[in-house]
Amino acid sequence: MFPIMPGEANSLSGGLGDLRPNHFHAGIDIRTAQREGLEVYAAADGYVSRIAVFTGGYGNVIFIKHPNGLTTVYGHLKTLNDTLAQFLRAGQYKKQSFEIDLRPEPNQFPVKKGEIIALSGNTGGSGGPHLHFEIRDDKNNLLNPLLFGFQEIEDELPPFFEQIALQPLTPSSRVNGQAGRLPLTPIRRPNGDWVLTQPISASGLLGLEVLAHDRTSGSPFKNGLTCIEIQLDNREVFAYNMNNFPNEETRLINLHMNYGVEQLTGQRFHRCYIADGNTLDLYRYNQTRGKLPLFDGQSHEVTITLYDCSQHTTTLRFTVNPEAENSPIAKLTPSKLPTALFSSVEENTLIIRARNLPTATAPTAQVYLSGATLDAPVQYIRANEAYYVVDLQKHLPDSVQIGRTVLPLNFKKRILPGQSAAYKDSSITVTFPSESLYDTLHLAVSHGGNRVSINQGTIPLNDFFEVNFLPTEPLENSGKTQVYLVSGNRKSYVGGFWKENRFIFKARQFGTFQLLTDLKPPVVKILRKDYTAIVATVKDDLSGLDTIRALVNGEWILMQYDYKRALIWSDKLDPTKPFEGTLVLEVKDRAGNLTTVTAQLPPAPRPVAVDSAAVSDKEN
């Protein structure tokens, strides 16, 4: 049965396989009228196999194992029913931990279909009140709940396009005369047809990407797609089908979608070809693995068909014309401003962009390699900027010079996936275990002062790599100094530790890392303290909170925590026992700064003594 408001029409704010940061969405998000506290029902007979509490992610979550081998999951719960809540609370007190993952014995907590197991909420990483609901098989594959015949969800709406993109996949490939990725916006005509209004020309090997969504009836939220099919000249070259997927492979989403574009813009494009390292079993594809081979100088028709779970379809057809051969390089409008150089890496292609060149004819770029120099002629002009292309599979440049302007590139070494490897110089060692990479990495490293830059944050990683470097700038307090991933004004805690005069840290994302010192302890503000409850706000401005510990007369007290509201509140093991005596609240951040707040709790009101003799006289 439907796990919330069964028998009533409902809609979704998320579907199976929606593209999320570092994971495919594992189930459906059922709307709860923007409210918490709705009754959540067991979808079928079974027993509770797991109860957990996470600060982020699922929040409060219940897993139910069913006799047919399936497991249903209910996430972001506000509270559990009395029996399960008592078991959970006892486990938290025994471990003295808010976060916990409990596995009851089989049939310790049997449930019947339709039994109330919890109330819906907004705990964990939820962005608003809803019920997250999953169905898993006995191999932990995630199944699409909408294929189980729930009548509460109606879908009369077809999928829709937002954008598509064409990505040149080799240094010699071009689309509309350029080596970089070309986004395009389909337009929906009044008759319902989708078209591209911009002409397209291309040559070489291209990858097609799709940014598209679905909606269920009655919902404004964008959901994912069930299927995408790509045809080239009426022959299928690629198909993606999301009706189930293995939970342990969810991080491979970073190869399914264009991870670099997601990091830069937040847009999550489906790659409609198989990227190197992608082993997901969600596809059908031809001998080119879905890539479009446009080498013959002919026009080709591309057809994209989107499907939702109800088999509604949306189709876009467009023609790709051949690129003009031997087109002359356009002239520049000379500039008196200082020349500026920029670089980007797309697939295995290094693209150099030169702005404000002083001459009408773009000069040849000097690409400096280890012990050699490569002349790179301009490839094309766009918006009065000159573009140059270098094949990173052949060359790893140290820097590039155009005119008098030099751009450091800092490429050091190729690192292959599936092999342990390292780069080392006198001040830094970067180590990659065999499971770190999905694809060949053109390692770029720069280090100065207390800052280290390793490639760009647009390259996905499967697992952690390690950095061991020698800082050269003085530190205010090395004991409270750790590494942060920095981008603009954003600083994300990474951590690490000192070993003699060197600092060592592990990361699962590329970018710029900097040693920063956190001397400010967390800020704690008590909002309520009496015999019934303790409530406070807890905040930290840099390294982030590490531990929260509350004691009343030396006895550990469970504090529930909602990071979205920076709020903690007490949850008694024995609700009838009043809080009395001394409260000690300790909050520590990840740099080791500790804030301790001590307060006396007011005594609980005492029952008024009754004089039985006086009562007897009054009655007489």
Q: Pick from 219, 169, 189: which is nearest to 13 by CA?
A: 219
The pLDDT of residue 619 is 54
Evaluated on CA atoms 71, 76, 78, 79, the torsion sign reads positive
- Domains in the chain, please, with CATH? 12-148 (2.70.70.10), 160-322 (2.70.50), 355-408 (no CATH), 413-517 (2.60.220.30), 523-601 (2.60.40.760)
User: Which DSSP letter does residue 436 get?
Assistant: S
First-to-final CA distance of the chain:
63
Would you place residue 177 in the very low, low, confident or very high pLDDT band (cuts 50, 70, 90)? very high
Residue position matching structure tokens 């702005």: 355
Residue type, 572: K
Cα separation, 300 vs 319, in Å, equals: 6
Cα separation, 442 vs 5, in Å, equals: 53
Reduce the DSSP state of residue 417 to 3 states and report it. coil
Reduce the DSSP state of residue 229 to 3 states and report it. strand
Please indicate whether residue 616 or residue 88 has the higher confidence score (pLDDT): 88
Reduce the DSSP state of residue 357 to 3 states and report it. coil
What's the mean pLDDT in 157-175?
97
Asked if residues 47 and 65 have their Cβ atoms less than 8 Å apart, the reply is: yes
The pLDDT of residue 616 is 55
Encode pLDDT of 531-560 as tens digits. Answer: 999 999 999 999 999 999 999 999 999 999
Asked if residues 438 and 461 have their Cβ atoms less than 8 Å apart, the reply is: yes
Tokens of 282: 């969600």
Q: Which residues, at least 6 apart from 524, have a Cβ–Cβ distance to it below 8 Å?
A: 536, 537, 538, 585, 587, 595, 597
Would you place residue 202 in the very low, low, confident or very high pLDDT band (cuts 50, 70, 90)? very high
User: Which DSSP letter does residue 4 get?
Assistant: B
For residue 353, give the H/E element and its range. Answer: strand 349-355
Would you place residue 320 in the very low, low, confident or very high pLDDT band (cuts 50, 70, 90)? very high
The pLDDT of residue 96 is 98
Encode pLDDT of 422-473 as tens digits. Answer: 999 999 999 999 999 999 999 999 999 999 999 999 999 999 999 999 999 9
What's the mean pLDDT in 578-589?
97
Cα separation, 492 vs 565, in Å, equals: 19
Cα separation, 567 vs 525, in Å, equals: 10
The pLDDT of residue 35 is 96
Asked if residues 76 and 54 have their Cβ atoms less than 8 Å apart, the reply is: no
Would you place residue 615 in the very low, low, confident or very high pLDDT band (cuts 50, 70, 90)? low
Residue 120's DSSP bridge partners are 77
What's the mean pLDDT in 138-150?
95
Residue position matching structure tokens 């710029």: 512
Residue position matching structure tokens 């964990």: 124
Q: Pick from 526, 20, 490, 2: which is nearest to 250 by CA?
A: 20
Phi, psi of 89 (to 5 degrees): -65, -40
pLDDT at 620 over 70: no
DSSP state letters, 480-549? GEEEEEEETTEEEEEE-EEETTEEEEEESS-EEEEEEE--PPPEEEEEEESSS-EEEEEE-SSS-EEEEE
Encode pLDDT of 205-241 as tens digits. Answer: 999 999 999 999 999 999 999 999 999 999 999 999 9
Looking at the whole model, is its pTM more than 0.85? yes
Q: Give the HSE-up count for residue 284: Cα atoms under 13 Å, Cβ half-sphere.
A: 10
The pLDDT of residue 577 is 94
The pLDDT of residue 327 is 84
Cα separation, 433 vs 419, in Å, equals: 7
Encode pLDDT of 77-121 as tens digits. Answer: 999 999 999 999 999 999 999 999 999 999 999 999 999 999 999
The pLDDT of residue 148 is 95
What's the mean pLDDT in 186-204?
95
Exposure letters 72-89 (e unless 16+ CB within 10 A, then b): bbbbbbbbbbeebeebbb
